[in-house]
Amino acid sequence: MIAQTPATPYYAVIFTSLRTEGDNGYNDMAVEMARLAAEQDGFLGVESARDELGITVSYWETLEAIKNWKANTRHLLAQQKGRAEWYTHYKVRICKVERDYEF
For the purposes of burial, counting CB atoms within 10 Å of the CB of 95, is it exposed (0-12), middle (13-18) or buried (19 or more)?
Answer: exposed
- List pLDDT tens digits, range 22-72: 898 999 999 999 999 999 999 999 999 998 999 999 999 999 999 999 999
Q: Are 77 and 4 in contact (CB under 8 A)?
A: no
Average pLDDT, the chain: 95
The arrangement of secondary structure in 18-97, i.e. its CATH architecture, is 2-Layer Sandwich (3.30)
Give CA–CA dist 34/72, Å, rounded: 13
How much is the average pLDDT of 95-102? 97
pLDDT interval class at 78 (50, 70, 90) = very high
Distance CA(81)–CA(30), nearest Å, equals 11
Helix or strand run (H / E) with residue 18: strand 10-19
Burial class (CB in 10 A: 0-12, 13-18, 19+), 60: buried
For the entire predicted model, the pTM comes to 0.92
Query: What is residue 11's predicted lDDT score, i.e. its pLDDT?
Result: 98
